[in-house]
Every structure is written in C-alpha cells, then in structure tokens.
Amino acid sequence: MKEVESLKLQPATELVSPVEQKKRFKHLGSTPMNKSMKMWEVDIATLEITEAEIKDHQVMTPQKTFVNKKALITKAGKIYVPALNKKNGLRKGKEHIKKHNLKATVANAE
C-alpha cells in the first residue's frame, strides 16, 4: 500500500500569473426616454439630485462598422431616474426608494 500512495500524480497545471481583464460595460437595463427627458442622479442617503453624466462611445457591429452609443456613468449609493425636470426627478427618486426599501431618510426630506 505504501508504494501506491507514493505514486500519486502531481497536477500538471499551475497558476503562473494572473491576467488583467479589460474593463467592460455592464448592461443594467434600458429606460425608454423622450427627447425632452433628462436622466437624473439621486443620492440615496441625502436625496441630493443632479443631472447624470452620459458618455458617448463607439461599438463595432458584426459588419465591421462603428455605431455611436451612449452609456450612463453609474456611481455607488445613487439611483438614476428619467424625468422632465429636477422636481419630477426627485419625486420619482423618492418613490423608487420607498418601493425598493432602500436605506434613506425619505421622511426627513419631505
């Protein structure tokens, strides 16, 4: 038995060096918006509202042509709502926070 245990094979693969991965866009969902609407960024903790930052980038199609796309820059601790103006954006943000039970003091802001 001792001879059989000593003949166990060692794994042929080993980790040489970790490979850096490229940063990719993560699809979180899409929101239908009219031309006159803006995307607003609402801070969950303080209910501060600012206009969200949208970045333009190009995507290559299977036909080897480039198409312009827009991507929303997301930040931790914030939610994003489409609205016509700042007042409606804050109202929609509060509704979203209440609906999803996010940690915010909605009662203090009213």
pLDDT on residue 78? 92
Let me know if residue 26 belongs to a domain. no
Burial class, 56, CB count within 10 angstroms (exposed 0-12 / middle 13-18 / buried 19+): exposed
Nearest to 72 by CA among 91, 89, 52, 93: 52
pLDDT on residue 89? 94
Give the largest CA-CA distance in the chain: 80
Which domain covers residue 94, as residue numbers? 34-110
Let me know if residue 21 belongs to a domain. no
pLDDT on residue 108? 42
Let me know if residue 59 belongs to a domain. yes
Beta bridge partners of 42: 49, 79
Let me know if residue 51 belongs to a domain. yes
Beta strands 54-60 and 49-51 are unpaired
Work out the pLDDT band at 107, boundaries 50, 70, 90: very low
pLDDT on residue 9? 59
- Average pLDDT of span 47-58: 92
Percent of the chain with pLDDT over 70: 67
Structurally, the chain folds into a number of domains equal to 1
Amino acid identity at 84? L
Q: Six-digit token pair at 86?
A: 């700042």
Let me know if residue 53 belongs to a domain. yes
pLDDT on residue 2? 56
